[in-house]
Structure 1
Amino acid sequence: MWSREDILLATDGKILREGKGVVFGDIVTGSGGVVKGSVFVALKGERFDGHDFLRDAVRRGAACLVVHKRPDFTHLKSATVIRVRDTLRALGNLAHYRRQLIAPKVLAITGSNGKTTTKEMVAAILERASIEGKSLRGKVLKTEGNFNNLVGLPLTLLRLQGKERVAVLELGTSRPGEIRRLTKIADPDIGLITSVAPAHLAGLSSLAGVAREKGELFRSMNPGGLAVVNLDDPWARRLGEGFKGAKITYGKRGEVRGESRKFLGVRGTEFTLRAGGERQLIRLRLSGEHNVANAVGAAAMAYGLGADLNAVRRGLEAVKPFPMRMALERWRGIGIINDSYNANPASMEAALKTLVEIGAGKEKIAILGDMLELGRESGRSHLKLGKRVARYRIDRLYLLGEQAQQVKEGALLAGMKEEQVIVGKNHRDIAKMVRSRTKRGAWLLFKGSRGMKMEMVLEALKEMGE
């Protein structure tokens, strides 16, 4: 519940019109989510303006409207109307106010790759952990999906009800300043930067720009907090060195380590976790060296909060593969690696490594779409990708997208033959070609940026096989 005074205090807003209510329900940003008593925050986006839906919000039961421009009161009934300078900023301020009021331990995760997986792992561990002698089961809030931006993160914090003792948050960015603002909203006690790699270069310009932006987590955190530092990532290590507070490190030479990795096929990966002089054998249901790194990072974060290694093991072993994120399956005698959720150069490298490891001794086929949002580096990055595919000795490469010819050129320059590299017209076209040439025992990797929807190739392939 929100009082009128709480909203005014959190947002520094002014009342344009007093309605009947002084106590309101949940805060929402879409008129479709309004119920009786809701507070509707009218956000302005690139393709919509919440101010155009004020009437609809009131019709659905909104009792309070937060706006940044004076509305037409004609059809707004008896709703309280509060004006602020910027409704997006007000949403973040409301979330920060809620975070301070409930006062859970806040764990924040950012990075170019592995954010969502690491966040899910941390939450799974903490659900099975006890801190200061008290169980956290049912008392862990986490970012749902990848609601990690200036709208999604505040909406996550606004779900705090009062019983939660920990909030595990994912912080995403596509332009400078977003991580700093998200960190100020969340005010994390523990922060983790998973990696720094070329991603969102259209907004962040360069790898150094990505590092500066991700590094805002450590720079904007309270020095009394704890930084979880990945020693295996040169940029993340450097950013950790700049943090003045306490640190816990992970990686091959970190305080928390993953050793003796063993691939278990479609069942996942096994490794030994070491921390604080203890060891635990972990049977992870996820595949790939990068997911072991994610697991070790999650373990370090939870361990830094006070979770014991037994809880870490139980949590990590409970994490199931996520849809379109390195999801393994067998279909008609063919191995499938569906990693089509998103892509950048570093995650492409990780996926290709996994294909080579899983497909050892088998035919290995990569079905790749464009890596989007790479700005001026796009052409060069796709050329490098083609060379990388060739050097991994992938047997066939199917390509889709505007950058397909760049990838093909790189692959041919690095030694692949013309007949090994095929550029498709659309998802179904590629599926037909894959179906006609692929035999039982082969392994297929599907990967590309979200906008490429490479899972549609897999869907078409399965439809043809019915």
Structure 2
Amino acid sequence: METNFTLLILFSILPIINKYLFWFYVIQLKEYRLDRFREYISTLQGKKAILNFWAYIEIPVFIIVLGYYLNPLLENTIYSVVVSLLFLETIFVISKIVKKHLFFPKITSRFLLTFFIFIFVEIVLFSLCKNIFLFILINLVLPFLFIFLSVFISLPLVNKIKKKKLLEAKLRSKITTNPIKIGITGSYGKSSVKEYLSQILEQNHKVLKTPKNINTELGISDLIIKKLKNKFDYFVVEMGAYKIGEIETLGDIVNHKYGFLTAIGNQHLALFGGIKNTIKAKSEIAKKVLENKGILYINWDDKNIRKASFNKKLNIVKYGIKDNCDAKSDIIEVKKMITKFDFYYKGSKTTFKTNLIGTHNIINITGILAFCFDIGLDKDELKSILLNIKMPENTLCIEKHKDIIFIDDTYNLSEGGLYAGLEALSYFKDVNRKILVLDDILELGKKSGKIHFDIGKKIGKNKLVDKVFYVGINNKDDFIKGLVAGGFKVSNIIGDLDWVKSGDIILFEGRKSGIQLNKILGKK
């Protein structure tokens, strides 16, 4: 009996650690937000994560264990079954470790503290528990219970720390008066605008910008407290939000004079509760601009931004490539991956060339150029910078490997961002086949199925690609139905990239598509 129980504990350790690592990874990915975590577990992907292969085995075994109470003679058999199951699960986890497929959260003090406490408590409970029925119950339920508790219990403490940190950051930003502060928000395009603008300003000025993935209240507050000083000339801040009020809070913290509103789309629709709320939330960037008597630059080509209402006293510059813009660009030609365009602003015309391709990039650059003209940057210097500007990491980055062209757009996925990627793909003419590797667009709520169907239909109808490999889980059926409805051949829907060959070009859209990209490039 003692030997059996020792084996039970021994073979439970790795499976339990694997469960905790995965769920902490998910919680971190969802920024410890209950609204984002709730949205995740409501999706097919989230449900499969809970009721995975091992859960479907463990639950029946738990029921079988009840037989032990009905017939004690089955004790040894039941122990053997459970030990064998846990042994197989341990081998499975070891194989994931060897293949480096284990999900691993970022190492933070919050994660380490809760992780080791939970693992210790589970092992202690296992060692004290001499009942196989309770053992299986603990193994099934406790990891999920602890993960939820880690969010709920820590919430009051986290909110207290957060409130204190936000106040400290707000005061620091107010007394640090030298840097000109620029806030950038939008459903998509904000990271690109932040990076392009920062690269231009860094040529002759000291610039502090928010790092990759830092666009929330706590992340920005940490940056302000640790790094914002009067030695900087500019502070460029990317601002993210999931509900009404969050951009306004960020504005109070950053105290920006200038603002950019890049686009408003259906990203995080489930969390905002509808496009009207998204428009209202993103428009909050205007409040602090008005208070500081600055300028708000808005993408007037975006239909949802045109629906936003702004204070009449607010100084607004409308930018884009369509008519009725204050700052407007006309694309003249795209040749050898160089875009030539005319920029019109305040009665003057300037011709620029840039190594950026795609309408979305020229729209972004148009808003940035309007800002640069307003602060008096040299036109000739701007011409030189735009020819050698760098794309943000994992954002339409082009790489060639064994005569195959890869477009890496795996950083973030939205409907608008996907169409921007497909447009970039269209500029490549002398290629063999155009292939799209696509992940799910997340947090779209009840409209998720329809949006994916419509995207699929548009891709199929307009013959935007030759082959499609859908790597997402939640909306695969909806997307494929849309493809077929748009006239896309089922035979061109593929399940792997083993057959790609010289001359092909592949567009990778979304985080999971990055796994396929790394496989081809031999990256871990």
TM-score (norm 1): 0.73
Instruction: Report the equivalent of 1:186.
Output: 254
Q: CA deviation at 1:442?
A: 2.2
Structure having the higher Rg: 2
User: Letter of the aligned partner of 2:340 in structure 1?
Assistant: E
Q: CA deviation at 1:416?
A: 0.8
The structure-2 alpha-carbon separation of the partners of 1:190 and 1:357, relative to structure 1 and needing over 3 Å to count, comes to same
Q: Deviations over 1:301-327 (max 9, x none)?
A: 333333343343344334212321001
Q: CA deviation at 1:362?
A: 4.5
User: 1:222 aligned to 2:297?
Assistant: no
The structure-2 alpha-carbon separation of the partners of 1:142 and 1:462, relative to structure 1 and needing over 3 Å to count, comes to closer
Q: CA deviation at 1:276?
A: 3.1
Query: Would the aligned equivalents of 1:188 and 1:222 in 2 still touch at CA under 8 Å?
Result: no
In structure 1, what is the Cα distance between the partners aligned to 2:375 and 2:169?
Answer: 23
In structure 2, what is the Cα distance between the partners aligned to 1:86 and 1:307?
Answer: 43
Instruction: Report the equivalent of 2:346.
Output: 276
In structure 1, what is the Cα distance between the partners aligned to 2:221 and 2:338?
Answer: 34
Instruction: Report the equivalent of 2:372.
Output: 302
User: 1:234 aligned to 2:303?
Assistant: yes
Query: Would the aligned equivalents of 2:256 and 2:288 in 1 still touch at CA under 8 Å?
Result: no
Instruction: Report the equivalent of 2:14.
Output: none
Mapping of 1:331-410 within 5 angstroms?
331-359=401-429, 362-393=432-463, 394-402=465-473, 403-410=475-482
Q: CA deviation at 1:275?
A: 2.5
Structure 1, 279-288 or 371-380: larger mean CA deviation: 279-288
Matched-pair identity in %: 26
Q: CA deviation at 1:240?
A: 6.2
Query: Would the aligned equivalents of 2:193 and 2:364 in 1 still touch at CA under 8 Å?
Result: yes
In structure 1, what is the Cα distance between the partners aligned to 2:333 and 2:414?
Answer: 26
Task: Give the 3-state SS of the residue equivalent to 1:210 in structure 2.
Answer: helix
Query: Would the aligned equivalents of 2:327 and 2:370 in 1 still touch at CA under 8 Å?
Result: yes
Higher strand share: 1
In structure 2, what is the Cα distance between the partners aligned to 1:152 and 1:324?
Answer: 21
TM-score (norm 2): 0.66
Instruction: Report the equivalent of 2:183.
Output: 108
Instruction: Report the equivalent of 1:169.
Output: 237
Which residue among 413, 421, 437 is the counterpart of 2:493?
421
Mapping of 1:9-158 within 5 angstroms?
86-103=160-177, 104-128=179-203, 136-137=204-205, 139-158=206-225
User: 1:248 aligned to 2:307?
Assistant: no
In structure 2, what is the Cα distance between the partners aligned to 1:312 and 1:184?
Answer: 32
In structure 1, what is the Cα distance between the partners aligned to 2:258 and 2:272?
Answer: 25
Number of positions where the alignment pairs a residue of Structure 1 with one of Structure 2: 372
In structure 2, what is the Cα distance between the partners aligned to 1:100 and 1:84?
Answer: 24
In structure 2, what is the Cα distance between the partners aligned to 1:170 and 1:327?
Answer: 20
The structure-2 alpha-carbon separation of the partners of 1:93 and 1:317, relative to structure 1 and needing over 3 Å to count, comes to farther
Query: Would the aligned equivalents of 2:266 and 2:444 in 1 still touch at CA under 8 Å?
Result: yes
Q: CA deviation at 1:52?
A: 9.4
Instruction: Report the equivalent of 2:119.
Output: none
In structure 2, what is the Cα distance between the partners aligned to 1:305 and 1:146?
Answer: 28
User: Letter of the aligned partner of 1:398 in structure 2?
Assistant: F
What are the ranges of 5 or more consecutive residues in structure 2 without an aligned counterpart? 1-30, 35-104, 114-156
Mapping of 1:442-461 within 5 angstroms?
442-448=504-510, 450=511, 452=512, 454-461=513-520
What are the ranges of 5 or more consecutive residues in structure 1 without an aligned counterpart? 1-42, 54-82, 129-135, 425-429
The structure-2 alpha-carbon separation of the partners of 1:164 and 1:89, relative to structure 1 and needing over 3 Å to count, comes to same
Task: Give the 3-state SS of the residue equivalent to 2:477 in structure 1.
Answer: helix
Instruction: Report the equivalent of 1:431.
Output: 497
User: Once superposed, what is the RMSD of the aligned Cα atoms?
Assistant: 2.8
The structure-2 alpha-carbon separation of the partners of 1:372 and 1:85, relative to structure 1 and needing over 3 Å to count, comes to closer
Task: Give the 3-state SS of the residue equivalent to 2:502 in structure 1.
Answer: coil
Q: Deviations over 1:275-315 (max 9, x none)?
A: 23444433322222111111112222333333343343344
The structure-2 alpha-carbon separation of the partners of 1:237 and 1:263, relative to structure 1 and needing over 3 Å to count, comes to same
